[in-house]
Structure 1
């Protein structure tokens, strides 16, 4: 399989989503609170160019499970 940037970014996004879902599933377990505590990171670019106006809001809730998912996705990508 040819490695390219698109596949790498796709693997990282899938790892991030899987990690976030895993963090949400583990949230009721009191002993794993440190893995599931989320920190929201948001970015809101906007512009008004008189002819064209946009407002975009992107927010990601990162937790340790999500970071572990990204790291695991990176190692899986390297093994391909």
Structure 2
């Protein structure tokens, strides 16, 4: 198994302090918390890309046209 890669990140002081508190209260390391947050963000991106791919062939409508229909229908 490959070893972890060391890197430097810059956090706002309040973010770093909150991360330290969370690490202490959850008995996890700062690295574990940062890795988990980054992985969750990447998972969300992957889900967004999958949804985009699934809907790529759907017909599109201009925003102005949709807006006009909403106004004419009394929704707006």
**Same fold, TM-score > 0.5, yes or no:** no
Instruction: Compare the two structures and name the one with the higher strand fraction.
Output: 1
User: TM-score normalized by structure 1?
Assistant: 0.35
Bigger relative contact order (CA 8 A; separation at least 6) = 1
User: TM-score normalized by structure 2?
Assistant: 0.37
Instruction: Compare the two structures and name the one with the higher helix fraction.
Output: 2
Greater gyration radius: 2
